[in-house]
Amino acid sequence: MNETILIADDHPLFRQALAVAVASAAPSARIIEAGTLAAAAKAAAEADNLALITLDLKMPGAIGFSGIALLHAEKPDVPILVVSSAEGALVAEEARAFGAVGFLRKDSDLSRIEDAIRKALYGGSAPRAASTEPVEQVRREVAGLTPTQLKVLLCVLNGKLNKQIAYDLGMSEATVKAHMTAIMRKLDVQNRTQAALVARSLGLDLAM
């Protein structure tokens, strides 16, 4: 079965440009597209033989680096290549910290994007060295949340109450509370406010 590559970006024209790059780098690949983070997560969960995800950090539904965290939780063995207009000296480093194998700006040459796609697909990436820094340990805990837990945490970051979260995610309030308990335990915090502060400190609601 041919490999599948997911292009997640909310701009149709740029998705087309990435599709051209993907077709050049991996001619036999099946390409699927998504214009929102929710659609990307659904596509990733349902795709057969998914080999690579290209991701824009600024997609609708994403907050900071949450798109990487969510898709990495959904498919932890699938490489994520971030192609984004996000700026900042530490953006590439943070993207890798949350599970991306590489970071490119959208204004990169097409040939460079093609090379990055080939490397992500066939060249692999060097493993990140384990760090004992507290922020790195907490970042790994956030990256280790399940997809549903991440969705709940993002709702908390958006100021939603349990009842609203339950409605948005199609679950009971009791289930939301259970997820919040698991999130607080994993992040070693005592309440949802502290959980939100931890997420913010790691850039999950980074304004870009």
Q: Where are the domains of the chain?
A: 4-123, 134-201
CA 78/CA 52 separation, integer angstroms: 6
pTM assigned to the model: 0.71
Of residues 67 and 50, the one with the higher pLDDT is: 50
Segment 197-206 shows an average pLDDT of: 66
* CB-CB contact of 204 with 157 (8 Å): yes
Q: For 81, phi and psi rounded to 5 degrees?
A: -105, 115
Residue 130 — very low, low, confident or very high, per pLDDT cuts 50/70/90?
very low
Please check whether the two domains, 4-123 and 134-201, share a CATH topology.
no
CA 48/CA 166 separation, integer angstroms: 29
Indicate the CATH number of 4-123 among 3.40.50.300, 2.60.40.3140, 3.30.70.860, 3.40.50.2300.
3.40.50.2300
Question: For residue 202, what pLDDT is reported?
Answer: 63
Is CATH 1.10.10.10 what the domain over 134-201 is classified as, yes or no?
A: yes
Residue 146 — very low, low, confident or very high, per pLDDT cuts 50/70/90?
confident
Question: For residue 127, what pLDDT is reported?
Answer: 43
Does the pLDDT at position 208 exceed 70? no
> How many helices, marked H, and strands, marked E, lie in the chain?
10, 5
pLDDT in tens, 93-113: 888 877 889 899 888 888 899
Question: For residue 5, what pLDDT is reported?
Answer: 96
Segment 124-136 shows an average pLDDT of: 49
Segment 183-193 shows an average pLDDT of: 86
Residue 23 — very low, low, confident or very high, per pLDDT cuts 50/70/90?
very high
Segment 185-193 shows an average pLDDT of: 85
Segment 24-28 shows an average pLDDT of: 91
